[in-house]
Amino acid sequence: MRTIELSGSPGERGRQHGQAAAQDLRRLRRGLLHYLARLSFYGGGLPLFGLLTFLARGFWPFIPPRLQEEMRGVAAGARVGLGTVLLINVIDDLGNNSPRCSALAAGGERTAQGRWLMGRNLDYPLFIKEMIRFQTLFLMEPDQGLPLASLAWPGYVGVCTGINKAGVALAQLASMSRDRTLRGVPAALRFRQALETEATLTGVAARILATRGTIGNNLMLCAPGEAAVLELSACRGFLRLPREGLITVTNHYQSPAMAPLMGKFPPRPPHSPLSAYHFTEAYSRSRNRRLQELAAGRKLGPEEIQIILGDPRIANPGTAICTVFDPGELTLWVAQALEAPVSRGPFARIRLWRD
């Protein structure tokens, strides 16, 4: 498990990030160019890459200044264009996500120690081998705000899977929404800002709800004594609470408050290793039912959650990251498989901030 430690001001952290991950960041860029070249046939990948970076610049005015400074630092440290770093951080916002992810949290009588635990599969339709190969744990000690850990990739400044030192863990999942815009804070950067500044689950949720977003998301939040799912669109949100010590989430809104905003599921992207069924609402609902079935009537620990996430009706050929969090112990388990679905293990146990 590659770990990169970052500290200091935003610019300093960004430069450290870029210098440590420069080679792999360039490899990620080549992988994207190779895919775009397959789409454009004889035109090559550069014209489409240029178009995407041009569109990505539209998000720049909405990104908090400290995160802008950090991205500039990454670009300078890695000696790549700022447009490349920006695109890596907003590509989901441009594409309005591609849903397949799954997550659950359990606590109280559902777990042996009574503490809340959370597990998540991050599934992606493309670049799966690259995401597995370049998976990196970033340990950040900012000059302002809370230390946090983010499981991501070279160049990625946002947080889609992470935890702060106060014990609030976060997992981003896509949710198709009709309420979306290009004039808001990109999703993973929105979540990074909240995780870095708030020490409680309710504080993180409130900070996110107070910030205008871009696309639909289901955000699993977990702390030692509680868990919730924040169902989000660009401008609205609803905090959904557990029932009898369990909460599950996939890629559709489950609350009546957000159901009217649910949008259409996207078609299968060209050259994806997943089937068309993986991009349907029916598949999202099927995985959610399966999570509830496998968790029913039993106490769950980290190993049991790992087994659930590796179930063949939940994991799929796009499962590139699988993580289980114990926020009370500031511990996570990360799947170390080299091929998808990685949730079939083995898992590495990582204890954070041992001091």
* Spatial distance between the Cα atoms of 76 and 70, rounded to a whole number of angstroms: 10
Q: Are strands 2-8 and 136-142 parallel, antiparallel or unpaired?
A: parallel
- As beta bridge partners, residue 122 has 321
Instruction: Answer whether 0.85 is exceeded by the pTM.
Output: yes
10 Å CB burial of residue 123 (0-12, 13-18, 19+) is buried
Nearest 5 degrees, angle CA 323-CA 339-CA 162? 20
SS3 139: strand
Q: Identify the H or E element spanning 26.
A: helix 10-40
Residue 347's φ and ψ, nearest 5 degrees, are -115, 145
Q: What percent of the chain has pLDDT over 70?
A: 99
pLDDT tens for residues 93-149? Answer: 998 766 689 999 999 999 988 999 999 999 999 999 999 999 999 999 999 999 999
Q: What's the mean pLDDT when you consider all of the chain?
A: 95
pLDDT at residue 43 tops 80: no
Q: Give the pLDDT band (50/70/90) at residue 292.
A: very high
Q: What backbone torsions phi and psi does residue 173 show, to the nearest 5 degrees?
A: -125, 150
Query: In terms of Cα–Cα distance, which of 71, 55, 60, 63 is closest to 14?
Result: 71
Residue 40 β-bridge partners: none
The burial class, CB within 10 Å (0-12 / 13-18 / 19+), for 38 is exposed
pLDDT at 97: 63
Query: What domains are there in the chain, each with its CATH number?
Result: 97-351 (3.60.60.10)
At a CB cut-off of 8 Å and minimum separation 6, what does 22 contact? 77, 78, 79, 80, 154
Closest CA to 298 of 245, 334, 344, 346: 245
